[in-house]
Amino acid sequence: MPQMGYDMKEGRLIKWLKGEGDEITTGEDIAEIETDKAIIPMPSPSGGILRKIITPEGEMVPVGTVLGFIGTLEEEIPSNLTSVPVENNNIPENENVTELNTSEPIEEPIIETPKSSSETIKASPVARRIAADKGIDLKLIQGTGPNGRIVEKDVLNYSQPSASPQPVTEAPKVSTTPSNINSEIIELNRMRQAVARTTSASSREAPHFYVTTDIDMTGTMEIRSQVNKALESQGKRVSVNDIIIKACAVALKNHQNFNATFHGDTIEIHPNINIGVAIDLDGSGLIQPCIMSCQNLSLAEISVGTKDLINRARENQLRAEEYIGSTFTISNLGMFDIESFTAIIAPPNCAILAVGSVRQQPVVSDGEITVKQMMKVTLSVDHRANDGAAAARFIGEIKSLLEQPIGLLV
């Protein structure tokens, strides 16, 4: 069972698209997988003959579980096969037999997930010795040495909390109260569960701060109407959001620390700018697929890509990398006439831009009151990865790109 989302822990094998004995080429869709968010086809990681199906249709299995074996007709199939997750990539000795158990994304790009907390603690020998002498748990110390190593001074400077720290726990389950005896209890669908899980994890782990700015969209709205007039004959339309995506892509190039993932003691700067777009699935849920490699796309290409993305999101036809590849997210509630709001960062991103509506407003400039088309945007930032001034510079660049939008067209 491949990991097809940042927080995907398990998946359901909805349907085998191939049967035992069928010939398969690499990349050919072999099964349909239901993740938290959607049902998606799963391309085969290798070619050959589907020798044996291990995981039956309809079964929910953890990521890493063997789904089936692909190999040649002559090959022996290991006898101890069960539909249980494998701890690591135990490739059978016969190298032509491939397990369908890759725990990596099945297509490019490879997305690194945050390191697990069970990773070995890096601490210098003398830091370990002093910590042991003083009975200090190294897990509680933030290393400041090279590569985040806990060094002598980190232990010496560490002051133990008076009480032992409370373990961070999931929100407690609250049972129905007697007064609400007539309440309707609704089971969360998987998408709702996923949203609940990732947003609470993000709120808990990522210290958010927010910077808001007013953007004069008069020029952008003017350019957009000109562009749309020109595109009318082709039946295309550029949305305000498309232009904002383009502006963010340009700004992210110069502010790479916002196109990044925080890993505890490192920050991973992503080479590609994949901008996630929060899409409302008509009330049934929220999904944030991304437009890949925005740094290489023109405004028109972004516009086409976004529409395609939204359509496929609503038809459950997104590709795996579009779920997991996002490096920055935009959430736009402008169409609901929301002036401004703050958004929760979508892990593994370290920032999200919340976009309000474009509205005509009186603006004082040069001592005159004029009417301009104003838009408020709020950037939510993970303070572990970036500081206020950096956020201000980043949002400032987005603002100036949108206020002089001609640069976004070329």
Contacts to another protein by CB under 8 A: 124-129, 144-146, 149, 151-152
CB of 266 vs another protein, minimal distance in Å = 15
Assess contact for 358 and 375: CB atoms under 8 A.
Answer: yes
CB of 128 vs another protein, minimal distance in Å = 8
Q: Which of 92/145 has CB closer to another protein?
A: 145
Q: SS3 of 364, please? A: strand
Q: Which of 128/236 has CB closer to another protein?
A: 128
Q: Is the dihedral of CA 12, 17, 18, 20 positive or negative?
A: positive
Write down the catalytic residue from 208, 255, 263, 383: 383
Q: What angle do CA 56, 59, 63 make, to 5 degrees?
A: 105
Cα–Cα distance, 370 to 166 (Å, whole number): 55
Active site residue 270: no
Assess contact for 373 and 218: CB atoms under 8 A.
Answer: yes
Sheet order of strands, 275-277 included: 208-216, 368-382, 351-365, 328-332, 275-277, 290-291
Assess contact for 253 and 295: CB atoms under 8 A.
Answer: yes
CB of 157 vs another protein, minimal distance in Å = 13
CB of 156 vs another protein, minimal distance in Å = 10
CB of 389 vs another protein, minimal distance in Å = 24
Q: Which of 152/403 has CB closer to another protein?
A: 152
Assess contact for 329 and 275: CB atoms under 8 A.
Answer: yes
Q: Which of 102/124 has CB closer to another protein?
A: 124
Q: Which of 146/178 has CB closer to another protein?
A: 146
- DSSP, residue by residue, 40-78: EEEE-SS-EEEEEE-SPTT-EEETTB--EEEE-TTSPPP
Q: Which residues are catalytic?
A: 383
